[in-house]
């Protein structure tokens, strides 16, 4: 059975974010990390989210038990740096979700930093 990846890439999950979630590979670009973190929210993979969070800003834990949002779609709007040879990057995106019967939107510019050849999520600016 093939599952379309929840990150809206239109690829199969097994060929997109799943190898990152399984720890088989690390994303080499901030876009791939951004997508895999969004899809980790969809599948509620807290371990992956924490493992890809920069240690300076990482929460102690993530609790999805009160979370009734149903994630719908990720739109990547703009990518600044964050390539294979970069040390920092920003990804601007819209993430759509349904909560209490209403479709809502998060618009964020996420900041990423590379530590020992791996990308980490640092923080995000909402607006």
Site residues (vs Zn ion, CB under 5 A) = 5, 7, 9, 16-17, 35, 39
Q: Which of 126, 124, 119, 125 is closest to 25 using CA atoms?
A: 119
Residue 87 vs 94, nearer CB to Zn ion:
94
Residue 39 vs 110, nearer CB to Zn ion:
39
Going by their DSSP bridges, the two strands 102-115 and 118-126 should be labelled as antiparallel
Sign of CA dihedral 69, 70, 73, 76: positive
Region for residue 21 given its phi and psi (left: phi exceeds 0; alpha: psi -120 to 50; beta: otherwise)? alpha
Nearest approach in angstroms of CB 18 to Zn ion is: 8
Nearest approach in angstroms of CB 94 to Zn ion is: 16
Residue 6 vs 89, nearer CB to Zn ion:
6
Nearest approach in angstroms of CB 56 to Zn ion is: 26
């Amino acid at each position: 059975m093939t599952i379309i990846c929840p990150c809206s890439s239109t690829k199969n999950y097994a060929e997109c974010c799943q190898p990152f979630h399984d720890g088989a590979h690390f994303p080499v670009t901030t876009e791939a990390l951004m997508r895999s973190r969004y899809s980790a929210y969809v599948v509620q993979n807290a371990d992956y989210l924490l493992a890809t969070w920069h240690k300076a800003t990482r929460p102690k834990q993530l609790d999805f038990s009160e979370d009734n949002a149903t994630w719908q779609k990720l739109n990547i709007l703009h990518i600044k740096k964050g390539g294979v040879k970069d040390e920092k990057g920003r990804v601007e995106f819209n993430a759509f979700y349904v909560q209490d019967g209403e479709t809502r939107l998060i618009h964020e510019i996420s900041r990423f930093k590379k530590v020992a050849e791996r990308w980490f999520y640092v923080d995000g600016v909402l607006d």
